[in-house]
Amino acid sequence: MLPLQLLRDESERIAQALAKRGLDAGPMLGEILELDRERRKLQAELDETLAEANRKSKEIGELFKTGKAAQAQELKEESGRLKERSKTLGEALNQAAEALQEALYQLPNVPHQSVPAGQDETDNEVVGQGGTKPVLPEGALPHWELAGKHDLIDFELGVKVTGAGFPVYKGKGARLQRALIQFFLDRNTAAGYTEVQVPHLVNADSGYGTGQLPDKEGQMYEVQVDGLYLIPTAEVPVTNLFRDVILSADQLPVCYTAYSPCFRREAGSYGAHVRGLNRLHQFDKVEIVRVEHPEASYKALETMVAHVKGLLEALQLPYRILRLCGGDLGFTSALTYDFEVWSAAQERWLEVSSVSNFEAFQANRLKLRYREGNDKPQLAHTLNGSALALPRVLAGILENYQDETGIRIPEVLVPYTGFDRIDS
């Protein structure tokens, strides 16, 4: 949710920037500003009425004390009329405030100036790459076949226990996955991120805080009886740790990392592109989250990008970095870099990380602020990124590291796995 003050001050600029998303925000902004005026007008009227009623109440108190009951009675009647009026005004105000709130929820974040205009993922801009695509041996296999051949992952068992998209990892497959989690957490904490373990179910307030609600409701699994949602990413609980928080400026930046399973309904996505580990309903991810001073947030974003890059280079996986275009940019993000790993056997790129600056968009919903000295609290900036999402990294390792007889383990992982090859 964009800060209202920003819309009042810079609606022209915002409308232009939102055009990069292919959105004609002019009418929406007009409506919002109109609702805002309406709301303030009603608020002023209500305040005036309440002020009057407050004065009357005090007078009545005085009159009773001095024994002038008859006069007090008169004032009571006037007070009653004021009460009626404030009730009506209050209802009108609530309606206006609610309409304003809803309109604000509809408005996505303003793309950063560096965001390229564009329709969809084909317009994303490649801003970096590294590693070399391997030359695979004769008879190389896609990861789901490798996983079956070496008994690393059992997709069918997952179907039996739960359904499609819930794989069962076994033996060295499970071990490799755990090694990756450990490796990522170690690297992240070494880079200054504090490890946290957070709930995997969140309440609706948290969903609103980070922007999953109200619009992306269908993406999350919901536990209706308790009003809870399974997290689609650790971003939700971790960022919500800071809901309704005022930090002092010298506490910034706050850097957290968390491992969690992620649950996504991914309704309507089936077919060849979701085979194997390409797209799952449950997967593991290690996330990094930062709360930053607004002036430092873009520098922090570059730091995060460099860090994620370091992870992929340590694993020696061929990757590329994309700057998302306006059309592909997430609703809550101002600037996003995607990291993709080359899937050698499928011959396609797989997204393994998405690093974003949300500026004050989430902070505004979260009421996450910082205070400089004794100044008024200001909205902080929030950022996050995957570091990294596990299944596609796993897929990349299996495919890229396969040789004639099996699969090698990236050197940096060997201390974590305890084995350096997978052979059957």
Partner RNA sequence: GGAGGAAUGGCAGAGUGGUCGAAUGCGGCGGUCUUGAAAACCGUUGAGGGUCACACCUCCGGGGGUUCGAAUCCCUCUUCCUCCGCCA
Q: Does 60 bind RNA (CB under 7 A)?
A: yes
Stretch that binds RNA, among 48-56, 104-112, 143-151, 253-261 (CB under 7 A): 48-56
Reference 376, options 264, 249, 286; nearest CA is 249
**Residue from the set 9, 13, 74, 80 that interacts with RNA by CB under 7 A:** 80
Among 46-54, 211-219, 385-393, 416-424, which window interacts with RNA (CB under 7 A)? 46-54
Question: What DSSP string runs through 144-206?
Answer: HHHHHHTT-EEHHHHHHHT-TT--EE-HHHHHHHHHHHHHHHHHHHHTTPEE----SEEEHHH
* 397: Cβ contacts below 8 Å, ≥ 6 apart: 176, 315, 317, 407, 409, 410
Neighbours of 88 (CB within 10 A): 13
The verdict on 79 binding RNA (CB under 7 A) reads yes
Of residues 341-400, those binding RNA (CB under 7 A): 369, 371, 373-374, 376-377
210 contributes a contact to RNA by CB under 7 A: no
Yes or no: say if 368 and 382 are a contact pair by the CB < 8 Å rule.
yes
Task: Indicate whether 100 belongs to the interface with RNA (CB under 7 A).
Answer: no
Query: Residue 266 CB, nearest distance to RNA (Å)?
Result: 30
Nearer to RNA (CB atom), residue 203 or residue 316? 203
For the CB of residue 209, give the shortest distance to RNA in the complex, in Å.
16
- Is there binding between residue 48 and RNA (CB under 7 A)? yes
Instruction: For RNA, give the closer residue by CB, 155 or 229.
Output: 229
Helix (H, G, I), strand (E, B) or coil at 349: strand
Other CB atoms within a 10 A radius of the CB of residue 179 amount to 21
Residue-by-residue DSSP string for 195-234: E----SEEEHHHHHHHT-TTTTGGGS-EEGGGTEEE-SST
**Residue 157 CB-half CA count within 13 A:** 9
Binding part of the chain for RNA, among 39-47, 150-158, 331-339, 381-389 by CB under 7 A, reads 39-47
3-state secondary structure 54-67: HHHHHHHHHHHHCC
Question: Does residue 170 belong to the site contacting RNA (CB under 7 A)?
Answer: no
- For position 57 contacting RNA by CB under 7 A, the verdict is yes
Q: Judge if the upstream peptide bond of residue 214 is cis by omega within 30 degrees of 0.
A: yes
Q: Closest distance between RNA and the C-beta of residue 135, in Å?
A: 49
Q: How far does Cα 156 stand from its chain's mean position?
A: 31
Helices (H) and strands (E) in the chain, counts: 12, 18
47 contributes a contact to RNA by CB under 7 A: yes
**Residue 46 binds RNA, judged by CB under 7 A:** yes
For the segment 242-271, give every residue that binds RNA (CB under 7 A): 246
Residue 424 contacts RNA per CB under 7 A: no
Is the distance from CB of 216 to CB of 323 less than 8 angstroms?
Answer: no
Q: Is 224 in the site for RNA (CB under 7 A)?
A: no
Applying CB under 7 A, the span of 15-23, 50-58, 164-172, 190-198 interacting with RNA comes to 50-58
Q: Give the whole-angstrom CA distance, residue 305 versus residue 337.
A: 8
| Position among 20, 56, 381, 392 found at the interface with RNA (CB under 7 A) | 56
Q: Residues touching RNA: how many (CB under 7 A)?
A: 28
When asked if residue 160 is in the footprint of RNA (CB under 7 A), the reply is no
Phi, psi dihedral angles at 369 (to 5 degrees): -130, 165
Chain residues binding RNA by CB under 7 A are 40, 43-44, 46-48, 50-51, 53-54, 56-58, 60-61, 64-65, 76, 79-80, 83, 246, 369, 371, 373-374, 376-377
